[in-house]
Chains A and B, each alone.
Chain A
Amino acid sequence: MNDRLFELLVDSFTKILIPGLTMTIPLTIIAFSLALVIAMVVAMIQFAQVPVLKEIARLYIWIVRGTPLLVQLYVVFFGLPNLGIMIDPFPCAVLVFSLNEGAYCAETIRGALEAVPKGQMEAGLCVGMNYFQIMRRIVIPQALRTAFPPLSNSLIGMVKDTSLAANITVTEMFMTTQRIVARTYEPLALYIEVALIYLIFCTVLTKLQSYGEARLNRLVGVKTTR
């Protein structure tokens, strides 16, 4: 590797990392947190078979999962201004990513809720607890233990998907890299560099996942017996 290229990589490392810390990570954290809230509500509505709302939940999941994330970003960012709805790039990305991820996570959580044996609810009713008490104290904690690995998967997936926000002018890591490439004509080295930074982020998350699973095991007790 020649010195010029080495210098470029060192120099661009912080240039790419900074939008990673100020854009990619906040975007991921905010959007994923909102996604979890949406997912929890949508999953609970389906699990509890709430009439009408249940149909709306299915419709939401159907539309979101059946259309590309990139197209969703375009519709909201470039399309909605036709109706007079203008949203800034960052909030727009938060909105689309959280709605998108919310649909996938809702299915994960619904599946995890349904995997908790029916007997847990019945036993709760028989000791005099009500539906909400049993959900909060017995069913949801067990479901979250089941849902934790696939939800971690979704979170790690979202870190990488945030690169799509470059398309709606959010200056996150990938867009920053593209700009440096345009100036320096070193696409191979720079794109590998940004890939490695994504890899570092995701490695940290993977470590956090193992730590979180171990903690949850202690908190919730290991898997349900049946």
Chain B
Amino acid sequence: MALLEIHNLKKSFEKQEILHGIDLIVDRGDVIAVIGPSGSGKTTLLRCLNFLEHADEGQMVFDGSAHDLHHIHGKEIAAIRKRTGFVFQNYNLFANKTALENVTEGLIIGRGMDKDKAVAIAREALAKVGLADKEASRPSQLSGGQQQRVAIARAIATSPDVIYFDEPTSALDPELIGEVLDVMRALAEDGMTMIVVTHEMGFAKNVSNRVIFMEDGSIVTAKESKEFFEHPEDERIQTFLSNIDRKEA
């Protein structure tokens, strides 16, 4: 059974439809790269999945339980959010909390976990992203790459079923991108289910098992990564990929 199914998700902003009925099936262990030109609705789709945007229409089946995306109840949202993680483009670490507190907050406050247990889990998560020595640092004392790794530690600490990544390396200086991608690759190898909106074609090609290409609020194609990059038959995809090649050359 699929972990997550989305059917006919529609979203408009001020009468302009941004997503025209998205269908998506995510299996456990999938690492899905969502790519496409800017303005294609990738980020909006991801935000709808975690209810940061309220979809106008559509159904979600999360681990077997069905929800109407438009008429969903606050309690259902809270329950689903507790089983997911979200990593933002600009990290969004809690500015008034240390790295360790950023990770424990969701455990202690969000889930009512015992403090000692939460701290142990948080330390383990920070170690996993290579920041065991930074637990007492505030976000303002960390580099962008370090902040994003703390954000990933915050997301994995709650043992989510799936983590959504919204352009996790787009705000980073080029020399810091690698450290974040390394952590994400390690997560993927651990079998974490991930949906990653990204412009990093290397990650899409080498780490993700499936690629979704979006344009103008629709999914143009969804296929195995290898297949996607080796045989990009659609003209729009070819244009997109060659544009990226040109930028990177």
How large, as a class, is the contact surface on chain A?
Answer: 20 to 34
Residue-by-residue, is A109-145 near B (CB-CB < 8 Å gives 1, otherwise 0)? 0000000010110111111111001000110011001
**Identity of the chain B residue whose Cβ is nearest the Cβ of A117 in the assembled complex:** B92
- Contacting chain A: which of B29-37, B83-91, B207-215, B238-246? B83-91
Answer yes or no: A14 CB below 8 A from chain B CBs: no
The distance from the CB of A171 to the nearest CB of chain B, in whole angstroms, is 44
B86 engages A126 (CB within 8 Å): yes
Q: Is the interface of A mostly helix, strand, loop or mixed?
A: helix
CB of B105 within 8 A of CB of A120, answer no
Q: Which A194-226 residues have a C-beta within 8 angstroms of B?
A: 219-226
- Interface assignment of B95: CB less than 8 Å from any CB of chain A: yes
Q: How far is the CB of B234 from chain A (nearest CB, A)?
A: 33
- The interface bits of chain B over 58-82 (1 if a CB of A lies within 8 angstroms of the residue's CB, else 0) are 0000000000000000000010011
* Bound form: Cα–Cα A220–B109 in Å: 18
B140:A225 contact, CB within 8 angstroms: yes
Q: Are B81 and A224 in contact (CB under 8 A)?
A: no
Given the complex of chains A and B, what is the CA–CA distance between A223 and B63 in angstroms? 40
By a CB distance below 8 angstroms, the chain B residues around A127 are 85, 105-106, 110, 154-155, 158
> With a CB–CB cut-off of 8 A, which chain A residues contact B106?
127-129
**Contact partners of B98 in chain A: CB under 8 A:** 221
Beyond A128-B81, A221-B138, 12 additional contacts (C-beta under 8 Å) are A119-B88, A119-B92, A126-B84, A126-B85, A127-B106, A127-B110, A129-B105, A129-B109, A133-B110, A142-B95, A221-B96, A224-B140
Q: What are 30 sample pairs from A and B whose C-beta atoms fall under 8 A apart? A: A119-B88, A120-B94, A123-B92, A123-B151, A123-B154, A125-B52, A126-B50, A127-B106, A127-B158, A128-B78, A128-B81, A128-B106, A128-B111, A128-B158, A129-B105, A129-B106, A129-B109, A130-B78, A137-B105, A138-B96, A142-B95, A220-B95, A220-B96, A221-B96, A221-B139, A221-B140, A222-B140, A223-B95, A224-B95, A225-B147
Query: 6 tightest CB-CB pairs across the interface, nearest first?
Result: A127-B106, A128-B110, A119-B92, A126-B86, A123-B92, A221-B138
